Amino acid sequence: KAGVTQTPRYLIKTRGQQVTLSCSPISGHRSVSWYQQTPGQGLQFLFEYFSETQRNKGNFPGRFSGRQFSNSRSEMNVSTLELGDSALYLCASSSRTSYNEQFFGPGTRLTVL
Amino acid sequence: QKEVEQDPGPLSVPEGAIVSLNCTYSNSAFQYFMWYRQYSRKGPELLMYTYSSGNKEDGRFTAQVDKSSKYISLFIRDSQPSDSATYLCAMSMNRDDKIIFGKGTRLHILP
């Protein structure tokens, strides 16, 4: 079974730009969660989508948004990028019956200059 | 007080030793407890998943939860250099609730 895939793997942007990251979950998984990982704050929950609906949300500003498509693929968008948005963005998928058992992708490393 | 506290390390132990990794938490409503392993430049990988208090064993790994003390542990027996990674504890209140992660402990197993 193929794992969680994320594209692109690396991204360099400048302040003020916007960025879209993509995540394809494990086949059959309908829940996709997004996390931001930085050395200072660790792994922080952004939001979770299940069946195209946002089910949980973390404490991030509205510049961070996401969506999920009918095939469970998910995208995350960050608008008006700030230097502090530089981080590893991870997505994780899980099945409906076992949400807590999350399978992570390799992440997208975003650098904001 | 942070919801989940985890010593960042690094923790260096010789090959073959027993490793003990720990987390404390403040929210007594947490019921589901997980341990993830993260290698450099990779996403976290689920190692252990437990519900409520007690022990769970899987090969060389044992997870222990003490809800009365709000303390969870991961023990690694017969540690190997390939166990060198960052270990993150994680927990949630309900099965569908968001997961809160510790910041991770960097572990080095010395050959």
B105 at A interface, C-beta within 8 A: no
Our CA-based measurement puts residue B86 at a distance from the nearest CA of chain A, in whole angstroms, of 11
Question: How far apart are the C-alpha atoms of B111 and B83, rounded to whole Å?
Answer: 11
Predicted confidence at residue A1, as pLDDT, reads 67
For residue B45, give how far its alpha carbon lies from the nearest alpha carbon of chain A (Å).
7
Which residues, numbered 60 to 89 in chain A, qualify as contacts with chain B under a Cβ-Cβ cut-off of 8 Å?
none
**B92: contact with A, CB 8 A cutoff:** yes
- Per DSSP (E only), the strands in chain B are 4-5, 11-14, 19-25, 32-38, 45-51, 54-58, 61-66, 71-76, 85-92, 100-101, 105-110
What DSSP element (H or E) covers A64? Answer: strand A64-68
Give the separation between CA A85 and CA B27, rounded to whole angstroms.
28
Q: How distant is the Cα of B1 from the closest Cα of chain A, in angstroms?
A: 14
Q: Between A94 and A1, name the one with better pLDDT.
A: A94
To probe the interface with A, which of B99, B100, B101 has the most A CB atoms within 10 Å?
A: B99
Cβ pair A100:B45 closer than 8 A: no
Q: Does B40 touch chain A (CB under 8 A)?
A: no
* Inter-chain touch B92–A98, beta carbons under 8 Å: no
pLDDT at A67: 97
Confidence grade of residue A92 (pLDDT, cut at 50, 70, 90): very high
**Distance in angstroms (rounded) separating the CA atoms of residues B27 and A39:** 24
Residue B46 banded pLDDT, cuts 50, 70, 90: very high
Longest dimension (CA), chain A: 41
Task: Quickly state the pLDDT bin for B61 (edges 50, 70, 90).
Answer: very high
CB B50 within 8 A of CB B61: no
What's A83's DSSP letter?
Answer: G
